Chain A
Amino acid sequence: MRILVVEDDKDLNRQLNAALTGAGYAVDQAFDGEEGYFLGDTEPYDVIILDLGLPKMDGISILEQWRRAERNMPVIILTARDRWSDKVSGMDAGADDYLAKPFHMEELLARVRAQVRRASGHAKSEIECGPVRLDTKTARVTCDGQQVKLTSHEYRLLAYLMHHGGRVVSRTELVEHLYEQDFDRDSNTIEVFIGRLRKKLPSDVIETVRGLGYRMSRGADEA
């Protein structure tokens, strides 16, 4: 899952980056409105965290322009302006959630998880695909009840596939959603990670659809 953080306060942006990366997300950072707008307009993000009071371009305008261009990724507004009139204008501009500063990081992570789940059509925080079970809250993966130890890149890859269980996910899509913008995008690395996952999990859990990409095996379903 790839997340964009648009926040002009460097410290807060760094903290958000650290917390989100720690929770297994690939994070891009933008420090002003123009940069944020450009990234959100050109890159496929699973969630965007958007501050409203930004230099160069304010958050509401950014959001409105994204929505006009039919960029429909979930957007969480994170702002110090916590009056309902601000919330209403934010939601009217097309935000999916609204969090007022100061906030608890766990609260923000919960909201991010909720947006990711909602975007992929899952109602619960635990996703099951056959014997494999993913707890998005704790970022733990179990197979037949046994915990599976995964590196962060392995976890990102598995989580993305499980969120989109039953659907064929192309290699390009995986690259776009698993790595930060400035990561060396060599799609061969995806194959390396798929190979590692197949070793740690029952090998038939991840199917290869030739010429198209990968899919979590049939019968995989959300709990």
Chain B
Amino acid sequence: MKLKSLAFRLFATSAAWTLLVLPIAGLIIYELYRDDVQATFDARLEKLVYAIAVDSMVGAATPIAPNNRYEPLFEDIHSGWYWQIQPIDDATAPRLGSASLDGAEIDIPFRHNIKPDANGARWMNSTGPMGEALRMVEVIDTPYYHREGPRYSVLVAGPIDWLESRVANFLTRLAVALALTGIGLVTVTLFQVRFGLLPLRRIEQGLAEIRSGAAGKLEGELPGEIEPLQVELNALIASNQEIVDRARTQVGNLAHALKTPLAVITNEAREDKGPLGRKIVEQAEVMRDQVNHYLDRARMAAQVRVIGRATPVLEVLDTLKRALERIHRDRAIAIQITCPPSVRFAGERQDLEEILGNVCDNACKWAGSAVRVRVTADSRRTPGRLEIVVEDDGPGLSEEERARIGKRGVRLDETKPGSGLGLSIVTDLVQSYRGTLQLAPSPMGGLLVRLDLPST
């Protein structure tokens, strides 16, 4: 998941919220539970202290040990559960205590500083005979039949440990439960984001397919929210293609409209052998060259890089071979093509036909008997490129001639009509595709043309 992706944003906000909310919820639950356990504990102590007070004071002049044990742990020595009854006014009066105290007394050092609650009970935390932390409650009472008699302090204590261990136990389980919930939520979020954004992935793949030329438009059914995007995108691709096609047609029409009258003028002027005729022929040829040059330029300008164009090279070569063998059939030129069927040119079919048509036609014009076309695409060494080598067994070119026709627009043989190399349009096209064209001597004896072009 990339940091700048939609998926990450959705996931991060959701996960952050989960990680923030779960601990707060845990804290609240913990506090509520703790209060509840404390209240239950206190209620028990309160119940015990009143029961013991009543039991020990009723029907006696001096307190007596309560009959009921109430809590078995009062009998367990140093169990943490204690009761004791001590006189407040008369130091000689008898003192009583639970068996668990084993004769010891619980010191109540700060009795006077603690305000009794509505029932007259005082609550405090202190330590027991073993130094253990205790929660205590004390009530002041007098024997039932001796209302004006000396007052006694009745006290019941329970271990705070019991309380703490319960809360701690609960906390552990709560933490585990919340942690599991957290992990579960984050996992679900991750899944939700992946699932929810699946259509976007499909768009990504669809665009890659369009770019590579495997598809002509964005296919498949997409959710309502992004369907307009799909519709608009397909419309854009279609309109892009339409504009290019229209421009091409217009250029073709212009070519037709200009070239036919030009042919008429030239032919007419040739009939006239005088100086006027010669001048017109000369100027008409200049016009022809200019028209050709600017029509080529116009075609190039119309050639907006349309996304998603891929042309199988072998198909183009096969149709060209058929046409060329027909055009040059008197001379029985053998055109041999080596091309893997999977190689595809990243561009317009018409452009590849124009490039290869001119190059191969030249090769056929000059060849003795054989023309060889070899196409290679090494996806590991030169990914995204393809190489086309066209060579013939004709007379070839000298180094100086090769250098000269490398310059655009130069025709090697100006005397014979149609025998120029036509390389000007080829170099322009190749350059517009960021390709290269090289000329070299061929081992077959003639010229070797090496083209480097983009592939998909």
Q: A-side interface residues toward B, CB under 8 Å?
A: 9, 11-12, 15, 19, 53, 79-88, 91-92, 95-98, 100-107, 114, 118, 123
Contact = CB atoms under 8 A, between A and B. Distances in A.
21 contacts: A12-B260, A80-B255, A80-B257, A80-B258, A80-B260, A81-B252, A81-B256, A83-B252, A83-B350, A84-B320, A84-B357, A85-B354, A88-B319, A91-B326, A98-B327, A102-B262, A107-B417, A107-B418, A114-B330, A118-B329, A123-B330
A91 B326 CA distance: 8
Contacts of A107: 417-418
B24 interface: no
B323 A88 contact: yes
A119 to B, nearest CB: 12
B301 interface: no
B354 A12 contact: no
B320 A101 contact: no
B322 A83 contact: no
Most buried by B among A81, A96, A101, A107: A101
A49 to B, nearest CB: 12
A101 B254 CA distance: 13
Contacts of B256: 53, 79-81
A222 to B, nearest CB: 14
Contacts of A96: 326
Interface stretch (B4-12, B46-54, B208-216, B264-272): B264-272
A103 B417 contact: yes
A205 to B, nearest CB: 28
Interface string B328-342: 011000000000000
Given A15-B267, A91-B323, A103-B263, A82 B417 contact: no
B259 interface: yes
A140 B396 CA distance: 36
A126 to B, nearest CB: 15
Main secondary structure of the interface of B (DSSP, over half): helix
A92 B262 contact: no
Interface of B: 252, 255-264, 266-268, 270, 284, 288, 299, 319-320, 322-323, 326-327, 329-330, 349-350, 353-354, 356-358, 361, 417-418
A11 B263 CA distance: 10
Given A91-B323, A103-B417, A118-B330, A84 B353 contact: yes
A98 B357 CA distance: 13
Contacts of A118: 329-330
Given A11-B268, A81-B255, A101-B259, A92 B350 contact: no
Contacts of A100: 259, 418
A102 B323 contact: no
A88 B417 contact: no
Given A92-B322, A104-B417, A84 B358 contact: yes
Given A88-B320, A102-B284, A107-B418, A15 B264 contact: yes
A6 to B, nearest CB: 13
A138 B353 CA distance: 37
Contacts of A9: 260-261, 264
A166 to B, nearest CB: 21
A102 B320 contact: no
Contacts of B267: 12, 15, 19, 105
A84 B326 contact: no
